[in-house]
Amino acid sequence: MKPMIVILKDGTDSNQGKNQVVSNISACLAVSEAIRTTLGPRGMDKLIVDNRGTATISNDGATILKLLEIIHPAARTLVDIAKSQDAEVGDGTTSVVLITAEILKNAKSFIEDGMHPTIIIRAIRKATALTIKKIKEVAVTIKSDDDKEQRVLLEKCARTTLSSKLIARQREFFAKMVVDAVLMLDELLPLNMIGVKKVTGGSLEESRLVSGVAFKKTFSYAGFEMQQKKYTNPKIAILNIELELKAERDNAEVRLDNVAEYQKIVDAEWSILYDKLDTLHKAGVTVVLSKLPIGDVATQYFADRDMFCAGRVQEDDLKRTQKACGGAIITTVENLNNQSQQVLGTCEIFEEIQIGSERYNCFTGCPKAKTATMILRGGAEQFIDEVERSLHDAIMIVRRAVKNDSIVAGGGAIEMALSRHLREYSRTIPGKEQLILAAYAKAFEVIPRQLCENAGFDATNILNKLRQKHAENNIWFGVDIMHEDVTDNFIAAVWEPAVVKINAITAASEAACLILSVDETIKVPKSAAETSNAAKAMNMG
């Protein structure tokens, strides 16, 4: 009798072989089914309620997958590629998941027939290289020396992105706003220099773009209403100092013999505060912003001297103000008079304005860095949150279009062109690779097919028309959502930066290869809590 060899801990779940690969593919297909209907201008939205009862309405692939909390290890790969697509280019998160799932679905039949995954992976990598090369060949460069023309091109890219979002009807309005915001930035186009603030109430069209920094009025004391609310060319002090009389710490203890000594302590505390306030006033400061609280004494002091103050300003707002208006975040007011040129900021106009039920502090005409703030209006809170997510996608796309100025036609046009190119190439090579390349080519048709299905069109009919147009070398023909037909999407201005497609296809192929290369899953059981050494020493084990 052979001895029994135990390698894995008791209760370990181990699955391997062909069935495990097929099982992983099925899990990925189930994930893609969850977001399949969100693709395109006629995509549906998903309402997701988390364990705390917070409701989120979205049709952004990455947002939905993050909220679904998927636990299947292979299916989590799809969540990761959607996140990476969102971080890298901002749009195309649903497309990348659908393409991955379709590649796997087409590879599933080969796995079931006994083909080795390594052969499939090699062919997928070859097909990806061919695809990327083809995109770079056909992409059109839209670099324009004319600023007006460049702006029109960028607005077309922004409109294409917003056409599949919740705010599709207002895409003209928001496309202009997004392009304005991006063009206000400097050459590096830093994303954190575009602030987004949300004010519930009002209509979407009441949203506005501030060319500078804007943040919500902070908590303030009574003397605040006496302060001036508009300044021209103010001197701005950005502080990390508390300007209020502090209560003693819980464990502070001061022993006094008489009332006079107590009075000295109180007087010292007041004089420390007034010294700080006097120093700020003498340095010519007109606007005081602080990360820490500004108390009622300081507020009244500033009001009496026509100075404006705001305490407890959020750190990101403070940093954007510092970058835009210049100056430095000050942690002490000593020597402020001598260094006022270096440490104080300025702008053309500072004013406090009313937006809906909120009041906002706005700094415009900032000399140092270029920054913008979008103030979004709308009905329900969930609705404004989705508007913010939609605009994030559009901002990312416009940034990419400014940096990488080559574009392709959207609406399934580039996918059909790639599908035809790969199918024709597959006929020129022998062996198993021919089958896999043809299957990979077929996978791209999922995008135009899903666009048709989500719009309620006859997908077979539209795809046949597209195949015919592409066979005649009309490479920019894609789905026309408005007229249930096919059209030249380049002329129709349905544009996407080529980098979005390159990134999506590369990520989809890598994810598909990763999932196909896994042939065994081992789940180690959670270990029961072992008795600690301290408990053992006390004979509690």
Q: Could you tell me the residue ranges of all domains in the chain?
A: 13-141+408-522, 145-208+383-404, 212-249+258-368
pLDDT at 3 > cutoff 70: no
Instruction: Specify the pLDDT at position 247.
Output: 58
Instruction: Specify the pLDDT at position 441.
Output: 94
- Polymer length in residues for the chain: 541
Token pair listed for 528: 């029961």
Cβ 209 vs Cβ 372: under 8 Å: yes
**Among the ranges given (18-22, 54-58, 462-466), the one the predictor scored with the smallest mean pLDDT:** 18-22
Tens of pLDDT, residues 412-449:
999 999 999 999 999 998 888 899 999 999 999 999 99
Instruction: Specify the pLDDT at position 102.
Output: 94
Token pair listed for 161: 């992105």
pLDDT at 13 > cutoff 60: no
pTM above 0.75, yes or no: yes
Instruction: Specify the pLDDT at position 90.
Output: 78
Dihedral sign, Cα of residue 348, residue 353, residue 355, residue 361: positive
Helix (H, G, I), strand (E, B) or coil at 360: strand
pLDDT at 99 > cutoff 90: yes
Q: What is the CATH number of domain 13-141+408-522?
A: 1.10.560.10
Instruction: Specify the pLDDT at position 248.
Output: 54
CB atoms within 10 A of CB 505: 25
Mean per-residue pLDDT, 510-519: 89
Mean per-residue pLDDT, 499-519: 90
Q: Is 143 exposed, middle or buried (0-12, 13-18, 19+ CB in 10 A)?
A: exposed
Alpha-carbon distance of 52 to 257, in angstroms, equals: 56
pLDDT at 56 > cutoff 80: yes
Alpha-carbon distance of 278 to 336, in angstroms, equals: 11
**Among the ranges given (228-242, 329-343, 520-534), the one the predictor scored with the smallest mean pLDDT:** 520-534
pLDDT range class, residue 531, cuts 50, 70, 90: low
DSSP per position, 187-217: TT--GGGEEEEEEEBS-GGG-EEESEEEEE-
pLDDT range class, residue 249, cuts 50, 70, 90: low
Query: Nearest to residue 22, comparing CAs of 115, 94, 95, 93?
Result: 115
Instruction: Specify the pLDDT at position 10.
Output: 57
Instruction: Specify the pLDDT at position 365.
Output: 85
pLDDT range class, residue 61, cuts 50, 70, 90: confident
Cβ 525 vs Cβ 512: under 8 Å: no
pLDDT at 252 > cutoff 70: no
Instruction: Specify the pLDDT at position 255.
Output: 79
Cβ 517 vs Cβ 104: under 8 Å: no
Residues with a known catalytic role: 60, 93-94, 393
Tokens 């919740």 sit at which residue? 166
Alpha-carbon distance of 273 to 67, in angstroms, equals: 48
Cβ 42 vs Cβ 480: under 8 Å: no
Please indicate whether residue 357 or residue 526 has the higher confidence score (pLDDT): 357
The domain over range 145-208+383-404 is classified in CATH as 3.30.260.10: yes
Q: Is 84 exposed, middle or buried (0-12, 13-18, 19+ CB in 10 A)?
A: middle
Please indicate whether residue 118 or residue 340 has the higher confidence score (pLDDT): 118
pLDDT at 535 > cutoff 60: no
Query: Nearest to residue 110, comparing CAs of 516, 425, 541, 391?
Result: 516
- Correct CATH for 212-249+258-368 of 3.40.1160.10, 1.10.3720.10, 3.50.7.10, 3.20.20.450: 3.50.7.10
pLDDT at 344 > cutoff 70: yes
Tens of pLDDT, residues 129-164:
999 999 999 988 876 677 788 888 888 888 888 888
CB atoms within 10 A of CB 527: 8
Instruction: Specify the pLDDT at position 477.
Output: 92
Helix (H, G, I), strand (E, B) or coil at 486: strand
Phi, psi of 377 (to 5 degrees): -115, 165
CA dihedral (434, 436, 437, 438) in degrees, to 10, reads 80
Instruction: Specify the pLDDT at position 222.
Output: 76
pLDDT at 215 > cutoff 70: yes
